[in-house]
A and B are shown apart, each in its own frame.
Chain A
Amino acid sequence: MAAPEEGPVRPVPEGKWQGYVEPFVVGDPGRAAAGVVPLPDESAWDRKDTVLDAFALREGRARIVEVRAASVRGLAHRAYGKVRQDEYGFRRTANGRYLVVCVADGVSSGELSHKAAMIAAKGGARWLAGLLDRTEPADLPWGQFIRGVAVMIERNGRKLLRGRDDLDAEKCDVREVAQRLATTVLYAVIDLHAVDGTHAVHVVTVGDTSAWVLREGGRWEPQEAVKNDGAEVFSPTVHALPLPPATEPVPVRTTVRAGEALVLMTDGIGDPLGQGTGPVGRFLADVWERPPASGLEFAGQIGFARKSFDDDRTVVAVWPVNGR
């Protein structure tokens, strides 16, 4: 779809054609961007390399927000023939008041972690939307909800693991289930009803998925602590469901208004974004000053090439629109 700002697509004279797809590159693309031969994961033929969405939500005839979402398989997973382990999900509540978004990053070491991410993103978003039919976001029982998602992943995991020789799927400890499928997760609830032009947002995260608000002027404002700051050598341990979080999840409350964007992402894009002050921060702030015209364009931007960043990348971004 084309955003109204873009104007109509001009007709091309009969018998001619135009248009091209060019990859986005930030700085040195590295060798992997051009050199990787993408392989399928032969254990999961139905798992898509890239998924994307682009839509607006309306109240009556007025647009309230523009939403863009994409999940792109990383170069490393393409090179080694592994599925995309990231997933996203969203739901508008039945009464139309809230938009629920989930971004999930399946833990790399688990061979079925993409299933955990799918359960958290789709099942979790549906459930959260259901809760919001009778509860205000500020009163949501987040701890109970997160533990419920963990149980949902654990139960489905045990079903998926049935018939294995290496473990008893019914009786084994949840940690053994988590070794095969686990996911970090972020849930956001966006109030579609703006007060003085601002939308209230509640965000809860387990693990290293992150929420940002891209403020006016291209400033990236993190809504959680940024991971791995100050560590001596890099250690990739993360909190992930179905293991229950060590502490009760605390929602972060923020607001977003027209001219800004709420950007929810997995670490595949959070890592190169860093604190948002480097070249990737500038690039994404430039291209996301307004919602990109299409989901395809958005996915292309998320898939930018930059040396040594080869993880799966998933972003759901929400741009409030001045109601017109």
Chain B
Amino acid sequence: MKLQTEDLAFSFEGRRIIDRLSFAVAEGEFVSILGPSGCGKSTLLNMLAGILPPESGRILVDGQEISSFSSHFAYMPQQDLLFPWKTILDNVCLYGRLHGTERALRLRAKESLPVFGLAGYGNSYPKELSGGMRQRAAFLRTALCEADVMLLDEPFGALDVITRGEMQDWLLGMRARLGRTTLLVTHDIEEAIYLSDRILILSGSPAHFQKEVRIEDRERNREWLFAQRARYKEIYYFLKGESDAH
């Protein structure tokens, strides 16, 4: 297993948000964690990214326990968080700046700009970019980290529905290209179905995994997604039942 957690727990202001959370993600697998807002999805990702220390439990990558910040994870937060005072190229190369590999990373970044729909924008400032472009720049920043697991925290949550759809199409294409183990946190059922190999449904208080949905189909597109009504329905009614129960 590439990534494993064992009995992770976290409390905030005396309330236990996450309790005894264990799951595993295989190498190259794309797993979505789906759940209602405020169920602790982002907290889980923050613990993996080393931003929040878990109260108890273990995080293992390739069987090795890790604590605090680890170079195994590349984290992409909800907002793009591009630094407005840095150009796009400087922003996406932050990892290299921090680890002394800026020069090599800049070359890779320049090659990647067109792939990320940012050709000609390397020397622009974030305010000159549209919302979707900023999000792709943030994604490039994450992809350029020398990490084996990508953690995406509702990366398209702030975008309008059409842009979000375009970004999902684009990410689906990038998925095969990058081939990296990815953990996506989302509250969008469609997004989870569209992108994932496996969906883990997180809910309850304290949160724990309630259900797992596997999606084996390799060939996917929008039409395929529209045909997944049965899956959508199943997940929707499950989440609704959970929310009614609490």
A binds B: no
Interface, chain B (partner A; CB < 8 A): none
